[in-house]
Structure 1
Amino acid sequence: MSHTLSIKLRSGTQQAHTDAENIGFMKCFVQGVVDRECFSKFLSNLYFVYSELETAIEKNKQHPVISGMYFPELNRQSSLEKDMAFYHGNLWTNFIKPSTATEKYITRIYEISAHEPALLLGHAYTRYMGDLSGGQMLQKIAQSALKLSGYEGTEFYNFEQIPDKQAFKNKYRQALDTIIVDDITADKIVAEANHAFYLNMEIIKELETILIQALGRATYNDLV
């Protein structure tokens, strides 16, 4: 390989990362403009995404590409279940369903799990590395804006089994560079990571309607 997989993923997703940051919903979020209904809907969609992704990774953990990147301490499904119970009560499963964009996202994960499991790495990289990085800032913003105590309603961002996030990210990148893949497969993984970014962006765009209704269109336009 001409470049390590970690470098290919990092450089190859820079534009998608920038695009994601410039979506109206995210620009409002980082300014502390967060609506409780909108945020809980955001987390409920992620619950379906992570449930599908983590099921797929578990199913394919013996795959030569996935086995080297099998880190169950990253799993978010159980944390998101706690968040759902916080926002919707013990019968939370009766109150949430995946949005149209979320359905598209989980269908893609299901398809590659069945037909090209190596590409799951693109989704895992995009999601978990983001959670360990900017996600920590978003947690603090949500806690302040929604007046949440401790980790209530933001367990998604709480990695109890990873006390040193920077050290873990370094470990994760090192693990990426031990994966033996040819250049064609590496390029496919990078392309899938970009696809994961844009699938996530479609979920976020759907939430803008809810946020606009909560804030009022004029205020929203001023913020973005």
Structure 2
Amino acid sequence: MSISDHAGSAEAQLRKGFGPRVRKLHARIGKAHHKAEGMAFSRALLEGQATPLQLAALIRALVPAYALLEQEGPALASALGAAAIPWPDLARGSALAHDVAALSAVGPTPVSAAAAIWLEQMKALVRQSPHRLMAHVYVRYGGDLSGGQQLAEQANAILRRQGLSSLRFWSFEQDLTWLKQSLHDGFEQMDLSESEEEELLEEAEVAFGATQRLLAELADLG
């Protein structure tokens, strides 16, 4: 069963209320989303077969990317008119720091080449195309609030079986439906030209490509 198969009634209701830009984003990234779900690490995690080492590698690889998004994203989003995005409630920095410390007992993992490439791509967007960086914001946080919740259930079960602490990365204090709606509202608010909107959609596919490279890397650790 895939992440997409787990969508509940609240998620279905939310989709009915998608604005035009969010609808376009979902249409553009749908194929890439299903491809990511079908990759070896994703399947292993959903089936409860991923290893603590793979989970530690994932969490460690995400730290620099989220640090960049949370350092640069709020001001860039505000400049584009996206006032509704609840950055403090979405922020993952503290959760990632907790999880990195909790997973220290797992042992070392290789430095992620995929994450390093992704980070450099996003740094370039901060300087050159802030609206494109917002595609990475959407893919990451939107995914964490949706399919990430199913991944969390499996990841935490795997860790508990090994006597390890549950991850906080996918745990949000605020209501998930409210967070998703606020994120979507922020994206609908962005003041983009027609060409900038198309670039936003293109970059969403690039963001999924970055995820796919990371997932392929994690599968090799299995």
Give TM-score, length-normalised by structure 2.
Answer: 0.83
- Following the alignment from structure 1 to structure 2, what is the Cα–Cα distance between the partners of residues 52 and 135? 20
Deviation at 1:194, TM superposition (A): 0.9
Give the corresponding residue for 1:177: 188
Where do residues 81-160 of structure 1 align in structure 2 (5 Å cutoff)?
A: 81-88=97-104, 98-147=111-160, 152-160=165-173
Give the corresponding residue for 1:28: 44
Deviation at 1:172, TM superposition (A): 2.1
Question: 2:59 aligned with 1:48, yes or no?
Answer: no
Kindly provide the amino acid, as one letter, of the partner of residue 116 in structure 1.
S
What is the percent sequence identity of the aligned residues? 24
Question: 2:220 aligned with 1:204, yes or no?
Answer: no
Deviation at 1:70, TM superposition (A): 5.6
Deviation at 1:4, TM superposition (A): 2.0
| Change in CA separation of 1:15 and 1:24 when aligned onto 2, cut-off 3 Å | same
- Equivalent residue for 2:35, pick from 2, 5, 19: 19
Give the corresponding residue for 2:73: 57
| Change in CA separation of 1:70 and 1:165 when aligned onto 2, cut-off 3 Å | closer
Aligned pairs, how many?
204
Deviation at 1:181, TM superposition (A): 1.4
Deviations 1:131-162 (A, max 9, x none): 0011111111111122169x9341101112x2
> For the aligned residues, what is the CA RMSD?
2.5
Moved more, 151-160 or 115-124: 151-160
- Following the alignment from structure 2 to structure 1, what is the Cα–Cα distance between the partners of residues 204 and 111? 21
- Following the alignment from structure 2 to structure 1, what is the Cα–Cα distance between the partners of residues 121 and 111? 14
Give the corresponding residue for 1:5: 21
- Following the alignment from structure 1 to structure 2, what is the Cα–Cα distance between the partners of residues 30 and 183? 38
Structure 1, unaligned stretches of length 5 or more? Answer: 212-224
**Greater C-alpha radius of gyration:** 1
Deviation at 1:77, TM superposition (A): 1.4
- Following the alignment from structure 2 to structure 1, what is the Cα–Cα distance between the partners of residues 111 and 138? 22
Give the corresponding residue for 2:204: 193
Moved more, 63-72 or 179-188: 63-72
Kindly provide the amino acid, as one letter, of the partner of residue 35 in structure 1.
T
- Following the alignment from structure 2 to structure 1, what is the Cα–Cα distance between the partners of residues 109 and 65? 13
- Following the alignment from structure 2 to structure 1, what is the Cα–Cα distance between the partners of residues 83 and 113? 31
Matched residue SS, 1:13: helix
Kindly provide the amino acid, as one letter, of the partner of residue 168 in structure 2.
E
| Change in CA separation of 1:169 and 1:59 when aligned onto 2, cut-off 3 Å | closer
* Regions of 4+ moved over 3 Å: 65-70, 95-98
Structure 2, unaligned stretches of length 5 or more? Answer: 1-18
| Change in CA separation of 1:96 and 1:145 when aligned onto 2, cut-off 3 Å | closer
Deviation at 1:168, TM superposition (A): 2.2
- Following the alignment from structure 1 to structure 2, what is the Cα–Cα distance between the partners of residues 62 and 179? 9
- Alpha carbons 1:61, 1:70 under 8 Å: kept: no
Give the corresponding residue for 1:219: none
Kindly provide the amino acid, as one letter, of the partner of residue 33 in structure 1.
Q
Matched residue SS, 1:32: coil
| Change in CA separation of 1:28 and 1:96 when aligned onto 2, cut-off 3 Å | closer
